Structures are given as structure tokens and as C-alpha cells.
Structure 1
Amino acid sequence: MTTGSGQRPSIDRARAGLKQERAVRTRGQVLDAAAQAFAAKGFPAVTMVDIAELAGMTKGAVYFHYANKEALAVAVAEEFYERLPVIADSVRDRALPPLESVAELLTRTATAFRDDTMIQAGARLQIERSLIDVSLPVPYVTFGDLVASWLQEAREAGDLASGTDPDAVARVLISAFFGAQHMSWVLSDRADIAERVDEILAVVLGAARDRQVS
């Protein structure tokens, strides 16, 4: 027979688990609201009240999870940089040839910029980083390293000229991509981002593909 004292630790653990689940869920709700606010208005214009209203909770509840707006900016930026590798992993899983992997990565990332509010917020925060009094993650390093590694594989396979510098081509591609997404955001709310990425790929990788065919 189980005694009441034996049941108590199990009950307490169950309650603690539920409380933790609620806290994680609430924290995610606040983070999503912050991303929505930062993406729409930019860091300087957003207040903790704005975020609380979007999250559907009190300002005190927001402060319970995040000390200030800067802490939320860091959390959103970190989430942004966690989502980019997820996109990269989905491309790796397809086991495409290197140049096709590069093209697929940029295409899928473009779609995320168009459709994912967290991605949009992270990109805007990087543009506004000089206005944020806190250190944000260094932008796009891992992303660029992955593109460079695929370009290196392409060169070794003979799909790029032997004198090609994979790191330089990767920097050009990444700079062009993130510049294009910014222009697409300003000019068309990213409605034409897929077309802009196709242009980048055609110009930068087009010569390599032509060489492969010839």
C-alpha cells in the first residue's frame, strides 16, 4: 500500500514539471512577440509594453522572463542564428552535388526570410546592431563557412576552375544574398526575393556551371 508521504514527492515533481513546461511555453510566446515587434517596427521603436500586448500578457510577466529589451534582442538574434543551421541541415540531407547544395541553401534561406518572422527580426536586428547597447552574435560566419566548404568540394570535383578561391566566392555570394534580401524587403516586402536570389546564382555560379557542361 502506498502511503501519503510516498505519493508527495511524485506529486511535487509532477507539479514542478508542469510549471516548467508552462514557463518554457510562456518564454517562447514572449520571444515570438518580440520577433514580431522587432521585424515590424525595428529595435529603437519597440517597447516592452508593445511586446507584452502582442504576447497577450502583462509587462511584469515579460520582465519575469527577460530583464529588458536588449535581452530580448539577444534572444531573438540567437534564435535567428539557430534557425539558419536547421535550413542547412535540410539541404545536407538531400546529398546534392556541391554547387546545387549552395543554390538550394540560398533558395531555402530566401523562403525563410520571406515567410519566417523570427528570421526577419534577426536580420533587422543585425542591421540595427549599432543602435542596440549589447553584443549580438557575429553575423553569418557559420553560414559562410558552409558555403565555402561546398565550393571547395566543387573545385576539387572540377566544377570550379582550379584557381578559384572558395572563400572569396562564398563571401561574394553571402554579401550579395543578404544585400539582396535587404533590398527586396525595402522595395517589395520580400515578395520578389526568390527572383533576386536566382539572379545572384545565375551571375556568380553561372560561369562555373557553363564550364562544367563544356
Structure 2
Amino acid sequence: MTSRQAAKNERVGATNARGALLKQERALQTRQTVLAAAAEMFAEQGFPAVTVMDVAQRAEMTKGAVYFHFTNKEALAQAVVEEFYRRLPVIVAPALEKDLPPLRAVAEVLHRTALAFQDDRVIQAGARLQIERSYIGAELPPPYTAFQAMIEELLTQANEEGALHSRLSPDAYARVLVAAFFGAQHISWVQCNRRDIEDRVREIVEAVLPDRV
């Protein structure tokens, strides 16, 4: 092979590589568009009422394009729930990076998560799909285990510092807080579309962590 042919092959290879990369980027962008549309639909109408065609129309693409990335509606729900759990640690990360006392960090984590429930459609959809899991013919992860483990870790730190002052163990305390929080967001959603979720979460903090944050 001559040097000219080698250079030509190299240019062709580089062009093909760039083309493949652009194709992958477009596919990823399309998948994210579909996922965002599905989250909006699930948050607004719930799993049973939504069809793949509904998602396609919301995403402004064909039903075939949706099926290219997701085999069925159940796969869409699974993907939305997975994204929900991926986002939760990102949402609360700033609270954990502040080097706050553990109980203050717990309060900040709950507050930041409450704010996300107000306008993040993936967060809203993920929580609703957890409630509707009996309608979804696919396996979803156990609800809120990682979130509860994070709260438990903070409460364990508080207990080791002598700041918890509770007859409950840190893991039991974490279960109570997580149940109260996600129950409050659900009631807030049903009653007033989460307009009062910040107030409800503040009430939980004041009731369950009084004089400690």
C-alpha cells in the first residue's frame, strides 16, 4: 500500500468514526426526548392511561421511533423509574457537600428533594409510578432504599455525636422520616398539586427533628 493510499484510508476511517459518533449522539438525544415525554405523560395521567402513541405524540416523533428505543410501555416506565433514582442523589448532593451537622443535613436533603417535586417531571413521574407499580408488568426496584440508606447514615452520624436523642435506632428513625416525607408529597400532590410541599416538609422536620436542626 502506498503512503497516499494509507493517508486516504486514514481519512476515510476518521470520517466513518465521526459519523458513527454523531449517529450515537443523535440516538442518545432521541432516547432522552422520548424519556422526557414519557415522564411528562406518566406524571400527568398515570401509567394505565398512557399509551406508546401518546408518548410518541408528546415527543413529536413516530411510534416506531419510540419502539426503536423502548420495547413497550413497561420498558418506558422502568426507564423513567431508573432515571428517578439516578436523579435523587444528584438533587441532594449539594446538601451533603456543605459539611453541615448531620441533622441539619437531613433537613436540607428533605428540603431540596421537596423542591424537585415541584417542577421536575421525572421526579413526579417516578413517585407516581411507584404507587402504580401493581399496574406495571415489569419489575421495578424496591422503593426509596438508597434514599433511606442515605438518611440512615446521617442519623447514625448524629447518634454517634450524641445529637439524635431518640429511643428509635437510626434505621427506624430513617424509615419514619422517609415514610413521612414521601407520604406528605403524595398528599400534597393530590390535594393541591404540591403547592404546599415545602410547608409540609418543614412541618415534618419541626415535628420529628425539633430543636436539633
Q: TM-score, normalised by structure 1?
A: 0.94
Q: Is the aligned partner of 1:65 residue 2:64?
A: no
Distance in 1 of aligned mates of 2:12 and 2:71? 34
Distance in 2 of aligned mates of 1:33 and 1:120? 13
Structure 1 match to 2:203: 199
Q: Is the aligned partner of 1:96 residue 2:114?
A: no
Deviation at 1:37, TM superposition (A): 0.4
SS of 1:44 mapped into structure 2? coil
Q: State which drifts further: 84-93 or 27-36.
A: 84-93
From 21, 40, 44, give the equivalent of 1:40: 44
Correspondences of 1:81-120 after superposition (within 5 Å):
81-120=85-124
SS of 2:98 mapped into structure 1? coil
Distance in 2 of aligned mates of 1:157 and 1:124? 37
Q: Is the aligned partner of 1:31 residue 2:35?
A: yes
Give the aligned residue type for 1:183.
I
Structure 1 match to 2:164: 160
String of CA shifts for 1:34-53, please: whole Å, max 9, x gaps.
00000000000000110001
Structure 1 match to 2:175: 171
Structure 2 match to 1:184: 188
Judged with a 3 Å threshold, the aligned counterparts in structure 2 of structure 1 residues 5 and 124 are, in CA distance, closer, same or farther, namely same
Alpha-carbon RMSD: 1.3
Give the aligned residue type for 2:196.
D
Judged with a 3 Å threshold, the aligned counterparts in structure 2 of structure 1 residues 163 and 184 are, in CA distance, closer, same or farther, namely closer
From 6, 12, 28, give the equivalent of 2:10: 6
Q: Is the aligned partner of 1:132 residue 2:152?
A: no
Distance in 1 of aligned mates of 2:29 and 2:55? 16
Give the aligned residue type for 2:92.
A
Structure 2 match to 1:20: 24
Q: Verify the 8 A CA contact 1:155 1:164 in the aligned structure 2.
A: no
Deviation at 1:89, TM superposition (A): 1.9
Q: TM-score, normalised by structure 2?
A: 0.95
Distance in 2 of aligned mates of 1:183 and 1:204? 18
Give the aligned residue type for 2:111.
T
Distance in 1 of aligned mates of 2:168 and 2:133? 33
Distance in 1 of aligned mates of 2:120 and 2:171? 28
Deviation at 1:163, TM superposition (A): 4.2
Distance in 2 of aligned mates of 1:159 and 1:5? 68
Structure 2: tracts of 5 or more residues without a match: none
Structure 1: tracts of 5 or more residues without a match: none
Distance in 1 of aligned mates of 2:85 and 2:164? 29
**Count of residues in correspondence between the two structures:** 209
Deviation at 1:5, TM superposition (A): 2.5
Q: Which segments of structure 1 move beyond 6 Å, counting only runs of 4 or more?
A: none
Deviation at 1:74, TM superposition (A): 0.2
Give the aligned residue type for 1:76.
V
Deviation at 1:156, TM superposition (A): 1.3
Q: Percent identity?
A: 56
Structure 1 match to 2:54: 50
